[in-house]
Amino acid sequence: MAETPNQRDLEDGIQRDFSRSMSYGDYLRLDTLLAAQQPLSDPPQHDELLFIIQHQTSELWLKLMIHELRSARALLRSDDLSPALKRTARIKHILHTLTDQWSVLATLTPSEYAEIRPFLATSSGFQSAQYREVEFLLGNKNPDMVDVFSHDEAARTTLAELLHEPSLYDEFLAHLARQGYAVPLRLLDRDWSQPRTSDSELVDLFASVYAAPAEHWGVYETCEELVDVEDAFQQWRFRHLQVVQRVIGHKVGTGGSSGVDFLRRALSLTFFPELYEVRTRIGE
């Protein structure tokens, strides 16, 4: 019996000529995308490409997360709960992907990073406008962050708008109120630029939901999806902290922050405080 060659022949119907039709590279604009990695190290350092690609891909995932968060927020505003939950589920998986990819950057040793750090100058992930958009959309509002982007008018304008708009959680509470739940009025008409603090009456409301899940299934499911998102976000934050500590120890960050200590303080921030406080009440 003749041996089969170790190859797969192209089928007759497979497109071969793209002189007049759109190719995969055309659709994705790969000529632009793959030309965006421009290392600055001189002499060239092997690991700078890793550092650039790690952060560029993170920005692409952040772009998608913003797209999904804005859509979920709009759907809640129109009381269209089911597709809003679909969006939040996708956000959760994006966060898992972002967390997993820190493992690639963790292969960068302190000695290797020291070779490329001088070429970063004062640039830092702290200056990611898209990351701040995500935090503002989730409810972590900080007016001081807007001024960080005074050099970028488009980013500053976007953040200033989000600062004064309801977050995803704010729209969820407004949705609950329209469904007849006793959401305190002070939570429905407030200064959206201020970060939320826990409200005991809202904890009471969620306690009643968790006491009878079957009677409040849509609300119950949404609460758990939001907790999933925050849990995934915190895992991303923590993994970031671990990798930074592993690579630079307790050095000051390139953007001027205290580095690891600054990142550690972010772990105490919460987007949905009542959804965590209610857990102490369940079963009492």
Does the annotation flag 240 for ligand binding?
yes
Say what percent of the chain tops pLDDT 90: 75
Q: Is 116 helix (H, G, I), strand (E, B) or coil?
A: helix
pLDDT at 195 over 60: yes
Tens-digit pLDDT profile for residues 155-177: 999 999 999 999 999 999 999 99
**Helix (H) / strand (E) containing 154:** helix 153-163
Does the annotation flag 235 for ligand binding?
no
Does the annotation flag 119 for ligand binding?
no
Give the number of other CB atoms < 10 A from CB of residue 160. Answer: 16
Does the annotation flag 113 for ligand binding?
yes
- pLDDT for res 229: 97
* Residue found by looking up tokens 């709960």 in the block: 81
List of domains in the chain: 47-280 (1.20.58.480)
The mean pLDDT value for 224-251 works out to 91
Does the annotation flag 14 for ligand binding?
no
b/e string for 235-266 if b means 16 or more Cβ within 10 A? bbbbbbbebbbbbbeebebbbeeebbebbeee
Q: Is 128 helix (H, G, I), strand (E, B) or coil?
A: coil
The mean pLDDT value for 105-129 works out to 90
- pLDDT for res 42: 92
Does the annotation flag 52 for ligand binding?
yes
Does the annotation flag 272 for ligand binding?
no
In angstroms, the CA 67 to CA 62 distance is: 9
Does the annotation flag 248 for ligand binding?
no
241 phi, psi to nearest 5 deg:
-55, -45
